[in-house]
Structure 1
Amino acid sequence: MAANADIHLTVGEERVTTGDVTKGEAIDLKARDPEQLHENMKVQFHDIFGEPDETVFSFDFVWTWAFKLFTNTKLWCYRITSLICGLPLAIYWGIHFALLSFCAIWCCEPYLKAYAIELHCVRRVFQTMLNAFYRPCFEAMGYIFYNIRVQVTKQ
């Protein structure tokens, strides 16, 4: 093999590069929850605060400023937190789900298949014993109780 030869890796008959792993999938910057995963987290000012009686309510400037402060504080706290933690957590969860996929594909499924093959013989022996010893007894009991009829009459 030549020293400057390129190594070509393929996955599913497709050449693999380290470039665009999204395969051109577009991301919608407006609708960021297309699967509706977080419907329960849509919290607005009016979902939390409400003055129920026209005779008991705050000054207009208090209500207006409370709305603005709540909305902006919620928005900027989320943005700053996601700026600080978002990318490291995206890396963490990417690694986590990659390892889960690896374990499911390369460990769990082969183990479960081997276990099913190994237990197939035990299942056949157990099924044969049940058919030989227990099934005739239960069939006989079924025939005994088959003709019993219960009638309820009112007097």
Structure 2
Amino acid sequence: MSDESNLRSIHLSRTAQGRYRIENVRGGVLEIGHGEDADFTPVELLLAAIAGCTAIDVDFLTTKKSQPSRFDVSASGIKVSDADGNRLEDIAVGFDVTFPDDEAGRQMAERLPTAVERSHDRLCTVSRTVELGTPVVTGLSA
């Protein structure tokens, strides 16, 4: 069941060969490229989306009583090209989170593994979409 409140969208415009400007409906702007400069590539954005989505989940689930002293997340994958086409395999997301060594910090640190699991198994829209293999329809706009 969907309605307008569930719709998520972006608009991409070409700015030069291999360079693009992406805008969201809230006015956010992001420049991307094909990997010849410092701009993120689409594959890097996919990894960033997976890491960012799960980081947001884990952040909200673990910081109710204590703020982390470190909250770093990494994401990686191996790009392969074979008979099935180009894709990433072995996508991995790693959390490096520490909380203060006090009662509240220890409680939040104990919540961390469950929060990571909940994000992966249920909450993170991006990784759930990738893992479930949601079809992508591509075509010309009318």
TM-score normalised by L of structure 2: 0.28
Structure (1 or 2) with the larger CA radius of gyration: 1
Q: Which has the higher contact order (CA 8 A, sep 6+)?
A: 2
Q: Which structure is higher in strand share?
A: 2
TM-score normalised by L of structure 1: 0.26
